[in-house]
Amino acid sequence: MAKKQGDEPKDLKDLIKVTTLNGLSFKQFEKIAINQAEVLKSSKEKVDFDERKQWWLDQIDKLYNEIDGWLKPLIKIGVVRIESENVDLSERFIGIYQAKMLKIILNEVEIGIVPRGTFILGAFGRIDLKGLYGQVERLILDSDDPDSTPFSKRKGEWKIGLQATPTSDLKKLDRDNFAFLLSKLANMI
């Protein structure tokens, strides 16, 4: 089927959506690489990376507090334990820094909740959930705020990150689908 003239992606988000669904041509790769170089050049002048890092760490803490609240009934009866420790992350622009990771022990099965970074294509951060047999699920930090919104005023929203799915199509994380992810990663279902 021949492409129509209007079928070309209109902006970078459209391009990313099309490429994750259909693969990536060199021309599309080139466009993304040039766009990223331009963003990088202009962002060095505009973005306060310390502010972004702090916002990212605050969003992680908010998520962990929510998880603790969701699991509180199981913690009280001894079915779940939560432990935390710091991990070193290294990201371009920010450098090396520490973030908290969680270990959820569910009936003696450990599930790791590990931050991967805030500079994620198409999102503002990613946390991996690692299961019993090495399986991985992703939580993606999204924000619908305009790009001009300072990070200190942004509202983050955690979503379940499915591979090859644009963030606009991801499902919001809530207690029920978090419980489903845990049961899947603990090999309960």
Q: What is the mean pLDDT of residues 111-120?
A: 94
pLDDT at 32: 82
Q: Which residue shows structure tokens 């002048």? A: 45
pTM of the complete model beyond 0.85: no
Residues with Cβ within 8 Å of residue 126, at least 6 apart in sequence: 115, 116, 117, 120, 138, 139, 140, 141, 161
CA 10 – CA 154 distance, rounded (Å): 26
Residues with Cβ within 8 Å of residue 183, at least 6 apart in sequence: 189
Of residues 12 and 76, the one with the higher pLDDT is 76
pLDDT at 93: 85
pLDDT at 30: 84
% pLDDT > 90, the chain: 47
Give the single-character DSSP code of 3.
Answer: P
Q: What is the mean pLDDT of residues 16-27?
A: 65
Residues with Cβ within 8 Å of residue 187, at least 6 apart in sequence: 109, 131, 132, 133
Interval 47-86: pLDDT, tens: 678 889 999 999 999 999 999 999 999 999 999 999 999 9
Res. 169: pLDDT tops 80: no
CA 164 – CA 162 distance, rounded (Å): 6
Interval 144-156: pLDDT, tens: 888 788 887 888 8
Are 128 and 116 in contact by the 8 Å Cβ rule? The answer is yes
Confidence of residue 9 (pLDDT cuts 50, 70, 90): low
Q: Which of 13-22, 46-55, 134-143 is the least confident region?
A: 13-22
At 42, is the secondary structure helix, strand, or coil?
helix
